[in-house]
Each structure stands twice: as structure tokens, then as C-alpha cells.
Structure 1
Amino acid sequence: MDITKVSELIQSKLNLWFEALIKLLPNIFLAAIVLVIGIFIAKFIRKIAGKLISKISHNLTLNNLFSSIIYLSAIGVVIFTVLSILQLDKAVTSILAGAGILGLALAFAFQDIATNFMSGIFISFRKPLKVGDIVQIKDYMGKIIDVNLRDTVMETFQGQTVIIPNKEVFQNPIENYSYLKKRRFDLSVGVSYGEDLDQVKEITLQAVSDIEELSKEHETKVFFVGFGDSSIDLSVRMWIDNPEQAVYNKVGSEAIVKIKKAYDANNIMIPFPIRTLDFGIKGGVTLDKMPIQVSNKKE
């Protein structure tokens, strides 16, 4: 190949590129200005958005997440605007197409993570529970020690740490014992059929009346709930102003001890299980009329 022709070809290409660069200089200058101003505007938007979101949510992690998403979205708009000014529309189209395909692939690959993440966002806004609450979720009951965007951490009353995915928290019923700042203790008791029930009710209420942790706003009540096999069953319903499990267990223990002592002092019997065998029912015979067979079999 002739070196002269190669040199001319290279020179012509360089001239074309230089001319194109000269023509593009105003666009480059404008794009630089737009980029700088856009970055400052994006930061300002992030600051304003952070203040607005903090008024709705007190979750610092969630607030930072939304502020970052808004900031990155604003930066994305600035970058696409700069590329358009530089007449790189094809590059913009390719980037958008690639981002769409990548987003679809990531959505399928990290479906469970995305579900837990979105559930964590909804939990942060709805606030069905918070750190320190005593709750029961599915088969787990304990105190919440952390709520983040992916999972909820609970410490059970047996000292175990349970990490529950937010999808399970969001899609299942939550029994929050701390929401009302109080709990009710239901104690089942059985007394003999021969007791005076009005007396039993009065003595039972007196027995638990001096438990310190009982609510002053809610009256302790006694209900007779059924005829048991060996006893008449009653339920003692006591409200506690403190939802903590230790206080709940303490009240229950004190109530059992005090009721037992009160019943003993007033000769009220808590019966053992009793079974009555009646051989004289209709269609049967009494025990004294049943034939007795004696075996004469010799060893």
C-alpha cells in the first residue's frame, strides 16, 4: 500500500474528527454546565426530600434509602440530558434498553429479596410493630429487638434470637401485646359442685384484689364458664398495666398462690378428677346382682 495514500487517508480522517469536535464544542460546553448545575440541583432535591420524608417516617434507614433513590433518579435525568445535548441519542437508547433488560433479570433472580425489601418498606410506614414490642408472629413469641428493610429480629422468652423475613411478618397476622400498653391474664379455676358459687366469686375477687400490678382502670371479673367433669369451672380475668412477660408471669403466679390460700382458709375445695361408675343405669344391672364366676381350673 502506498504510504502517501495512507498518510492522506489518516490526515483526512483526523481533519473530519477535528471539524466535528469544533462543531461540538458549544454542545460540550453546554453539557458541562448542565452537568454541574444538575448535580447541585440533585443534591438540593435530596436534602429537601430527606426533610419531607423524615416528617412521615422516623426510620433512619428508610429515610436515607428514599433520599438516595430520589438523588440517583435526579442524577440519571441529568446524565441523559447531557448525553442528548452531546447528540448521543443512540447511546441513551442503548443504556435504557440495557437497564430494562438488567432490571428484569435482577427482578427474577432476586425475587425473594425484593419481596422482603418491599415488605420492609410497607412495615416501616404501617408500623404494626416497633423495637421493644412484645408480639407473636406465627409460632414465635417474644420481644422485637430490630426491624430493618430485609427482616425482623425477635428475642424469644426462652433466650433465642429469631430472624423472620419481612415477607412472613407482612403476610401473617401479628399479635402485638404492647400496642395497648396492657395485657389481660385469664386464670381458669375449678371448684366443687357442693360450693356456694356466690361465696366462691366473692372470695376469689378478694384474694387477687391486692396484687400490685393489676390495672386500676379495669375491674377484675370472675365468670363461671361451664360444668366440668369434676368441677364447676370459672375464669378470673385480670388486666395488667405492664405488657412485659415477666410482669405477666408474676401476676399469674401470685394469683394462683393467693386463690389457693383463700380457698383453703374458707374450706373451698378444688376437686381432683372424679369418675363415677353407675351399674344401675337403665338397661343395666346393679353390681350385687351380677353373677360371679369362679374358676375351678387347676394348675
Structure 2
Amino acid sequence: MRVHSLYLRIAVNNSLALSLAGSLGVDTRPFVASFQVSGALIAFALREVATNFFSALYLSFRRPFKKGQRVILHNANTPFEGTVVGMDDRYVTTSQDDNSLVFIPCAKVLEGPLVIKNEKKQLSAAATSTMKGPWWA
């Protein structure tokens, strides 16, 4: 949390300095342009982090699987099968048959089809409510 407050303090101080310099008649357009370019570069660099963060938010609200369920993730290369051990803000942790833990980034979970192996369980009301029929009906 300290890092966020430090960055916020730096941003506020820079904004105040630019405002003061503009009030004193200094041309601030080059500074503003450099801040815009820097912001675009930082946003581009943090694209993967932001994608993973929003994927984790989506998974935490949607909750497509529960702890202890067996899942199959179909990524670009090969399907991956494991038992869900937990989920945090970056990874879905699964356990293999040989008791090894695999940490899968949340964004990778949402990239391909996700198969949840339910053994003799009925579909939940949330899952059946989305299956009312074709979209054109």
C-alpha cells in the first residue's frame, strides 16, 4: 500500500508543479506530452498485469469452480487437468495426480474452454438460468 501512496504523492506533486509553472508563464506543453508518452508506455507494459487482475476479479465474482473440483483447462497447446486447491488474485492453484502444485495465471484460465468435472451433481440454478435457449429465440 505504501508504494501506491508514494506514486499518488508523486503524481499530485507533479500536477501541482505543472500548474504552478503554467501560472508563472512557463510553456508546459513539452512536460505534459512527455507525461502522456510515459503513461502510455507504462500502461502498455502493465497490460498483462491488468488482464490478469481483471480475470481474477471475474473469476472471484463468477466462481465457475470450487475448491476440490476437478477441472480441465484447454489452452493453446494441450489440455491440462488438475484438482483446484485455491485461488488468489494472480493464480488458480491446482494439484496434479502426483501431488505437485501448478499455478495457472487467472488470465490463462479464461483463454480457452474450461471443463469442470462434476461427479453425479446437478447443475446449479445459476448455470441453468443462462441456458434458456438459443440467443435468437
**Normalising TM by the smaller chain, what interval?**
0.5 to 0.7
Partner Cα distance (2:48, 2:87) in 1: 18
Match of 1:98 in 2: 34
For structure 2, the residue ranges without an aligned partner over 5 or more in a row are: 123-137
**In 2 relative to 1, CA 107–141 (structure 1 residues): closer, same or farther, beyond 3 Å?**
same
Partner Cα distance (1:77, 1:128) in 2: 38
Q: What displacement does 1:166 show?
A: 2.1
Match of 1:169 in 2: 109
SS for the counterpart of 2:55 is helix
Is 1:88 aligned to residue 28 of structure 2?
A: no
- Aligned residue pair count: 114
TM-score, structure 1 normalization: 0.29
Q: What displacement does 1:159 show?
A: 1.8
**In 2 relative to 1, CA 88–115 (structure 1 residues): closer, same or farther, beyond 3 Å?**
same
Partner Cα distance (2:39, 2:59) in 1: 24
Q: Tell me the amino acid that sits aligned with residue 90 of structure 2.
A: R
Partner Cα distance (1:92, 1:118) in 2: 35
For structure 1, the residue ranges without an aligned partner over 5 or more in a row are: 1-63, 185-238, 241-299
Q: Which runs of 4+ in 1 moved over 6 A?
A: 71-74
Is 1:129 aligned to residue 38 of structure 2?
A: no
Q: Tell me the amino acid that sits aligned with residue 62 of structure 2.
A: R
Aligned-residue Cα RMSD (Å) equals 3.9
**In 2 relative to 1, CA 125–75 (structure 1 residues): closer, same or farther, beyond 3 Å?**
farther
Q: What displacement does 1:169 show?
A: 0.5
SS for the counterpart of 1:123 is helix
Structure number with higher relative contact order (C-alpha < 8 Å, ≥ 6 residues apart): 2
Larger helix fraction of residues: 1
Q: Over alpha carbons, which structure has the higher Rg?
A: 1
Residue 118 of structure 1, aligned match among 45, 49, 54: 54
**Partners of 1:120 and 1:148 within 8 A in 2:** yes
